[in-house]
């Protein structure tokens, strides 16, 4: 489903060069929740951004659904990205648009007809438990509600993969549990494959099937979450 082979990433050049990823290989299977765990600066954000090519690796291979992402034409890359949703630590919502407007946005960009957008937005808001908030603005929502909008927006074009960039890091423990519960739900209901990055062991423990531990740009451990976490 997602495969990184020998991926490296160097920012800048010469004396300013920073190596963020060193020969990273990992494999995310269909339908699983895969967590990349590491401290701040370990390279997690760079790694996840190399999957949808928000960041271009300096070396190595990125395959998504069998496609060699680095060799796609701009048009083919745009299409491949439709199949990859993303959610963020600080939600990245448009403050000037309503909840419905935020969720509708990727569908407007993709050129969906009005009636289908309306229908899809209603379906998504029901899925994330915000059916009564369609006309509200982000400023009127709690953090957990904002992230639910982020999730609905990411799911709108029916992606098969969801990338989560520290999606619960800005939330309190109780809200974190409820958002993680929602992610587990959509993973099971929709068969969505989820690749998430986090610095919180709790996140890995509560919802990940597999985990890779990243330290200074290297994968130092990788396996089933139950095996890695049970180890003394």
**Under 8 Å CB-to-CB from 186, ≥6 apart: which residues?**
127, 151, 155, 162, 192
Cβ distance to ligand ADP smaller for residue 35 or 43: 43
Phi, psi of 52 (to 5 degrees): -100, 10
Give me the least distance between CB of 118 and ligand ADP, in Å please. 4
Q: Which of 35, 57, 101, 144 binds ligand ADP (CB under 6 A)?
A: 101
Piece of the chain touching ligand ADP by CB under 6 A; list 69-77, 114-122, 143-151, 222-230: 114-122
133 binds ligand ADP (CB under 6 A): no
121 binds ligand ADP (CB under 6 A): yes
Piece of the chain touching ligand ADP by CB under 6 A; list 80-88, 98-106, 186-194, 224-232: 98-106
Q: Which of 10, 70, 80, 134 binds ligand ADP (CB under 6 A)?
A: 134
Q: Which of 20, 26, 32 is nearest to 220 (CA)?
A: 26
Q: Total residues contacting ligand ADP (rule CB under 6 A)? A: 23
The label of the residue with tokens 């509708």 reads: 104
Give me the least distance between CB of 85 and ligand ADP, in Å please. 18
- Burial (CB < 10 A; 0-12, 13-18, 19+), residue 72, is middle
Cβ distance to ligand ADP smaller for residue 16 or 73: 16
CB 25 within 8 A of CB 79: no
Q: Which two tokens stand for residue 165?
A: 């960039």
Q: Which of 116, 126, 120, 174 is nearest to 148 (CA)?
A: 126
Q: Which two tokens stand for residue 138?
A: 């982000």
Binding site residues, ligand ADP, CB under 6 A = 11-12, 18, 20, 38, 40-46, 97-98, 100-101, 104, 114, 117-118, 121-122, 134
């Amino acid at each position: 489903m997602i495969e990184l082979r020998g991926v490296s990433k160097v920012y800048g050049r010469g004396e300013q060069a920073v190596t963020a990823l060193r020969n990273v290989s990992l494999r995310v299977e269909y339908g699983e929740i895969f967590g990349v765990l590491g401290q701040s600066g370990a390279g997690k954000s760079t790694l996840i951004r190399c999957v949808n090519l928000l960041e271009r690796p300096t070396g190595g291979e990125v395959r998504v659904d069998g496609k060699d992402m680095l060799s796609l034409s701009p048009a083919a890359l745009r299409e491949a990205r439709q199949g990859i949703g993303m959610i963020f630590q600080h939600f990245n919502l448009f403050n000037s648009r309503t909840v419905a407007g935020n969720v509708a946005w990727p569908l407007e960009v993709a050129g969906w007809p009005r009636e289908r957008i309306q229908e899809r937005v209603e379906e998504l808001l029901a899925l994330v438990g915000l059916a009564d908030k369609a006309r509200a603005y982000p400023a009127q929502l709690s953090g957990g509600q904002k992230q639910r909008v982020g999730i609905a927006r990411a799911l709108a074009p029916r992606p098969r993969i969801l990338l989560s960039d520290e999606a619960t890091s800005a939330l309190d423990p109780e809200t974190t549990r409820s958002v993680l519960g929602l992610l587990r739900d959509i993973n099971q209901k929709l068969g969505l494959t989820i690749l998430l990055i986090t610095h919180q062991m709790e996140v890995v423990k509560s919802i990940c099937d597999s985990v890779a531990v990243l330290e200074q740009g290297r994968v130092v451990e990788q396996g089933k979450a139950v095996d890695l976490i049970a180890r003394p």
